[in-house]
Amino acid sequence: MVCQEQEALVNKVLDLYHKISSLDTLKPSQDVDTLFTQLVRTCIPHTPFIDITKLSTTVQEARSNLIRLCNILSQHCQAVPTKIAFVGSGPLPLTSIVLATNHFPSTTFHNYDIDALANSMAKALVSSDHDLSKRMVFHTSDILDVSHGLNEFNVVFLAALVGMKNEEKKKVIDHLGKYMAPGAFLMVRSAYSARAFLYPVVNPSFDLKGFEVLSVFHPTDEVINSVVIARKCPIISTSSKEVQSLFNNNNLLINGNMIEELVTEEQL
């Protein structure tokens, strides 16, 4: 049984390898995105019965070439965001702190909250870190009153508790969609199933008009918040779809642990 499972997995990887190798280019496109997504989903599950060192020479060569192709793909990833906004950052802006400290050491984070006291506490929290305090900007504003400057952000995060009712949440999303730059990314926290008793729900099919939904992540552990990742539709539509790897150079966005860090933050 183990041998059959190993053979099936190796054959699936080899099939994807041959399809990827036959592509004319690894620049962002629907074919590239689809094939590498299938590859990642095939390889991510824990498979203790696979011992790479014992595979045939042919498979070893294919593996080496596949690693090389993945490296070429990473060179086409988007640049690291220069400016990120977090709407509803609160007195403990852990998402901004984690991203600024562990992932984006040169990015500036603009934190928006309607509560002046919350911003004061957050500012005091980061004040002892010289580098972090220079890159963390705090705005005491209702985001619905903010229009100027929203088009400067590569990425906008929307906290789960901004817009407690569905119509309020949708109003905020519509406002962001109006003023964000075409192609900019929006990460929205939501909830799923019984977790909707604890946090507001964002329906990707109805609440994100003007955005292209790229990924929806529903945690299955003790983490409550789901995450919806969307991109503001460009004014002029394009025929290709970018590989979804906006947050870092290591392709962690869709299938990696950065999402787990981000959805965990609001429960702390």
| pLDDT, tens digit (0-9, with 9 covering 90-100), for 189-243 | 998 888 888 889 999 888 999 999 988 998 888 888 899 999 998 754 333 343 3
Same domain, 42 and 87: no
Same domain, 49 and 91: no
Mean pLDDT of the chain: 84
Same domain, 14 and 140: no
Domain of 50? 2-74
Q: Which of 50-54, 63-67, 89-93 has the lowest mean pLDDT?
A: 50-54
Q: What is the mean pLDDT of residues 85-103?
A: 94
Same domain, 177 and 70: no
- For the entire predicted model, the pTM comes to 0.65
Same domain, 199 and 122: yes
Same domain, 23 and 116: no
Same domain, 149 and 240: yes
Please determine, for residue 247, whether its predicted confidence score (pLDDT) is greater than 60: no
Same domain, 143 and 184: yes
Indicate the number of domains in the chain.
2
Distance, C-alpha 55 to centroid of its chain? 34
